[in-house]
Amino acid sequence: MGGAEILVRARGLTKRFGDFHAVVGIDFSISRGEAFGFLGPNGAGKSSTMRMIGCVSPPTSGELTILGLNPVTDGPAIRARLGVVPQENTLDLELTVRENLLVYGRYFGLPRAVIRERSAMLLDFVQLSDRAGDQVEPLSGGMKRRLVIARSLINEPDILLLDEPTTGLDPQARHIVWDRLFRLKQRGVTLILTTHYMDEAEQLCDRLVVMDGGRIAAEGSPRALIQRYSTPEVLELRFDPGDHEQAAEKLRGLPAERLEVLADRVLIYITNGDEALAAVRGLGLEPLTSLVRRSTLEDVFLQLTGRHLDD
């Protein structure tokens, strides 16, 4: 093939809990050095998929190969080469910041001297060196998340799995995490992440799949997905709640590619937003606010599923 080495490959991958299908026959391949994302709302099946890749949840059916190995029979060997940042922090609150790395490294069977050296570097990398001797509990949410990221790197993994790395963090803390993940990506670490933030997916992912209801709705680079499933620009209009319905009705006459009438806004998908706004005014409509913006993955998701990512 000549392409990059495939590290994770899934065919018809399925996860059932009792009668409930959390993941329904999905296919994907992830290459070495890639930053690959699963974008989808709550309940889409992202964590279920990540746990199967992390070899802590056996697939119900389908094929899954990780680093050329079978997760069911070679779980320990695969996990030895993975770094995992689970959705919920699983930090050890009975240990200090540094001890969290030491003990975790021991779980991998690493010699203490190696762990000590790596911990110092990793704490520096996530800007927690000055908290090394502290208890974990009083750390802020962003610091805890960074500590989990440092912990996940202790075994110098081939693949880093990040399940919603910045959910629940304030904007500043998110940016610090993004910056660290971006550096890892620059160093060629293979990242697999899930998110329900379209900006996170756009910033970090080379390629992603849009997941909904346990299925993959679309796949591609952020740019390709936007090109394929949305228009270059979007005109967002807000009307007085009283006029909302009536205005939306009138707008249907516009030569737009697509029109989404939301509870509080109308989205007009179009190539040129400014021209569209002029056309709206030409219809005799005067919106309270108007905004011309580029299409995002949020629009892609809306187009694919008719819903919002954070619903």
Ligand X SMILES: Nc1ncnc2c1ncn2[C@@H]1O[C@H](COP(=O)(O)OP(=O)(O)O)[C@@H](O)[C@H]1O
Q: Which residues form the interface with ligand X (CB under 6 A)? A: 17, 20, 22, 40, 42-48
Under the binding rule (CB under 5 A), the answer on residue 195 touching Mg ion is no
Count the Cβ atoms, other than its own, within 10 Å of residue 232.
14
Judging by beta carbons within 10 Å of its beta carbon (0-12, 13-18, 19+), is residue 27 exposed, middle or buried? middle
Residue 83 CB, nearest distance to other proteins (Å)? 9
Under the binding rule (CB under 5 A), the answer on residue 14 touching Mg ion is no
CA count, 13 A, side-chain hemisphere, 146: 28
With beta carbons less than 8 A apart as the criterion, state whether 289 and 276 touch. Answer: no
Judging by beta carbons within 10 Å of its beta carbon (0-12, 13-18, 19+), is residue 289 exposed, middle or buried? exposed
Work out the angle at residue 67's Cα, subtended by the Cα atoms of residues 51 and 2, and round it to the nearest 5 degrees: 130
Residues 10-49 touching other proteins, rule: CB under 8 A, are 17
Residue 103 vs 304, nearer CB to ligand X: 304
Of 69, 103, 176, 259, the one binding other proteins by CB under 8 A? 103
Residues in contact with 115: Cβ distance below 8 Å, sequence separation at least 6, in sequence order: 101, 102, 105, 106, 154
With beta carbons less than 8 A apart as the criterion, state whether 192 and 36 touch. Answer: yes
Cα–Cα dist 126/206, whole Å: 23
Residue 190 vs 290, nearer CB to other proteins: 190
Of 25, 33, 41, 75, the one binding other proteins by CB under 8 A? 75
- Encoded one letter per residue, x for contact with Mg ion by CB under 5 A and - for no contact, window 52-91 reads -----------------------------------x----
Which of the 8 DSSP states describes residue 131?
Answer: G
Under the binding rule (CB under 8 A), the answer on residue 93 touching other proteins is yes
Under the binding rule (CB under 8 A), the answer on residue 291 touching other proteins is no
Residue 38 vs 239, nearer CB to Mg ion: 38
Residue 46 vs 185, nearer CB to Mg ion: 46
Residue 38 vs 229, nearer CB to ligand X: 38
What are the helix and strand counts (H, E) for the chain? 11, 13
Under the binding rule (CB under 8 A), the answer on residue 56 touching other proteins is yes
Residue 124 CB, nearest distance to other proteins (Å)? 21
Under the binding rule (CB under 5 A), the answer on residue 47 touching Mg ion is yes
Residue 115 vs 210, nearer CB to Mg ion: 210
Long-range Cβ contacts of 111-117 (<8 Å, 24+ apart): 115/154
Residue 78 CB, nearest distance to ligand X (Å)? 20
Residue 143 CB, nearest distance to other proteins (Å)? 17
Residue 47 vs 290, nearer CB to Mg ion: 47
- Residues touching Mg ion, count (CB under 5 A): 3
Under the binding rule (CB under 8 A), the answer on residue 61 touching other proteins is no
Residue 79 vs 207, nearer CB to other proteins: 79
Under the binding rule (CB under 8 A), the answer on residue 86 touching other proteins is yes
What do you get for the CA distance between the two ends of the chain, in Å? 41
Maximum Cα–Cα distance across the chain: 74
Cα–Cα dist 226/230, whole Å: 5
With beta carbons less than 8 A apart as the criterion, state whether 37 and 306 touch. Answer: no
The residues that touch other proteins, with contacts defined as CB under 8 A, are 17, 54, 56-58, 75-77, 79-82, 84, 86, 88, 90-95, 99, 102-104, 106-111, 114, 155-156
The residues that touch Mg ion, with contacts defined as CB under 5 A, are 46-47, 87
